[in-house]
């Protein structure tokens, strides 16, 4: 069964982008190369700062929607509470 990831990346202009994927490594690589999403094209490179793992897609999509509604300061608080990504 594929895992579902909700993630936040920090762009080099210190803005955040939230997304959902089943292949986190591939998605981050996509953001960092010439074929990334249009809305991060001017902000490359990006750095993964937060992620959560879900078993089912519907839970991941609900969490992604919730995170997208957060303000910049709320996202920073969420990131700071997250366990180290090292």
Fold classification of 4-81 (topology level): GIY-YIG endonuclease (3.40.1440)
Which pLDDT value is given to residue 42? Answer: 61
User: For residue range 22-80, what is the model confidence (pLDDT) as tens digits?
Assistant: 999 988 888 887 655 665 556 567 889 999 999 999 999 999 999 999 999 999 999 98
**pLDDT of 83 above 90:** no
Which pLDDT value is given to residue 86? Answer: 40
Quick one: which of 59, 60, 22, 6 has its CA closest to 49? 6
**Mean pLDDT, residues 16-23:** 91
């Amino acid at each position: 069964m594929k895992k579902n990831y909700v993630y936040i990346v920090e762009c080099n202009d210190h803005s955040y982008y939230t997304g959902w994927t089943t292949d986190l490594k591939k998605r981050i690589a996509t953001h960092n190369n010439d074929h990334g999403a249009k809305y991060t094209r001017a902000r490359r490179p990006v750095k993964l700062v937060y992620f959560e793992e879900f078993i089912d897609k519907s839970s991941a999509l609900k969490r992604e929607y919730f995170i997208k509604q957060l303000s910049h300061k709320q996202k920073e608080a969420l990131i700071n509470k997250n366990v180290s990504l090292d």
